[in-house]
Amino acid sequence: MKLELRKVKVKDIVLGDQMKFADGVLTVDVNGLIAALKDDVNVKEIKIDLAKPGDKTRIIPVKDVIEPRVKVEGKGNGFPGVTTPIEQLGSGAVNVLDGAAVVTIGDIVGFQEGVVDMWGEGAKWTPFSKTMNIVVDIIPANGLDPHTHETTVRLAGLKAAELIGYAAKDAVADEVEVFEMGSIFEETEKYPDLPKVVYVEMLISQGLLHDGYIYGVNSQQILPTMIHPNEEIDGAVISGNCVAACDKITTYQHQNNSAILDLYNRHGKDINFLGVILTPELTTLAGKFRTCDYTAKLCKSLGADGVIVSEEGYGNPDSDLLMICKRLESEGIKTVLITDECSGWDGMSQPLADTTPEAVAVVSAGNVSHVVELPPADKVIGNAKAIATLAGGWEGCLSEDGSMKCELNAVIGATSEIGYHNLTVKLY
């Protein structure tokens, strides 16, 4: 399977009356985009705004971030199974508006949405302070039930990214990244002496608006499933959840999954990267036993020598993470965990809700409880008062001058457990 990501560098974004890309500038057709999104009867109103790196702009409450792209060769444009008919992803060529992002905001349903600051202290903690953001503010029709409300908002964001992506259809790439990998048998024949490594990506699958989606299928409804890594970076996995903003894996981060990209970079050099297993994080004990046992069985059946396991969320999913680790290590499969910590404001509390002696290799993406102080913004896109009801905020954390205190919990992507964030690790 071969996939080309043809990256078109976006130097600036402007609002206009046509959708086009020329000389590094992306022009967004505001009225056309609004009209297209309002085709959904559940959408009452749409507002479009821009937020660029260095602007003293705050975006809140953020639901999702999506990278605008267009498939120029092969099957599967858009998000098959969600915005377009189902087709197999992972092959062909995609033009990517590199440096641009669609950021969705709107009325809160779940309390676990987030904030993005484009400058200052807040910008240090989120990767989306570095992207040029097209902010889509979606106001759903009155009287929708929470799940319909949430579906409406998320579909609008995906459709916006798809429509904006068409601006790059005829653009010439500044950079081309090629991702090519054959079957497990073919790759093992090429690299017989390299250790075989599987990536297990845990997805929030807890209901109550806490679900990831694979080709449009709610991850609650699957057993652990193996996919080709190209499928995820081609748009097969999307965010559909309201998990805490700091470690919510946005659709943009799935499209650019840094764990997959790092493993791909080492494939054929010091490891044989076998593929990706998507594992649902369920809330019931029976569900946890089923998925964790099944995940370990898949890894063993594939002949994995080592497994990287990344979590999404914290607390309840910590148990799944450690249960998978225990099963793999008990089978003699070396296991590395990627998680974050909920260690309290002082960093001294127990970092995970569960533990096991087999967890001997753990990468921390940071402390979700770390408190940051964010200065007043010149411009707020959305509603700054939302911080009081977001996970990581509290009543009174927004000052009269517009400054706020919050935990990293409330900052989108701050402690991403696939490694897509701005934190570093210090060794002592």
- The closest of 258, 250, 260, 316 to 283, measured between CA atoms, is 316
Amino acid at the residue 107: D
Q: Which amino acid is at 331?
A: E
Q: What is the DSSP track for 294-359?
A: HHHHHHHHTT-SEEEEE-SSSSHHHHHHHHHHHHHHHTT-EEEEEEEE---TTS-S-SSS---TT-
Query: Which has the closest alpha carbon to 280: 199, 354, 206?
Result: 206
* Continuous segment of H or E residues that includes residue 252: helix 251-255
Residue 242 annotated to the active site: yes
Minimal CA–CA distance to 303: which of 193, 190, 180, 195? 195
Q: How is residue 215 written in tokens?
A: 């080709």
| 7 burial level (CB within 10 Å; 0-12, 13-18, 19+) | buried
Task: Round to whole Å and give the CA distance between 29 and 15.
Answer: 6
Cα–Cα distances in angstroms (integers) from residue 376 to residues 8, 53, 231, 372, 397, in the given order = 34, 16, 41, 13, 12
126/216 Cα distance (integer angstroms) = 27
Residue that the structure tokens 């267009």 belong to = 70
Fill in the DSSP letter of residue 77. -
Tokens 């650019």 correspond to 256
AA letter at 378: D
Per the CB < 8 A criterion, the answer to whether 19 and 27 are in contact is yes
- H or E stretch covering 133: strand 132-140
Among 131, 151, 127, CA closest to 140: 151
Tokens, residue 99: 């440096």
| Alpha carbon separation from 356 to 60, 118, 130, 392 (Å, rounded) | 38, 39, 38, 28
Identify the active-site residue in 242, 292, 325, 397: 242
> Distance between CA 171 and CA 99 in Å, rounded?
15
Active site residues: 242
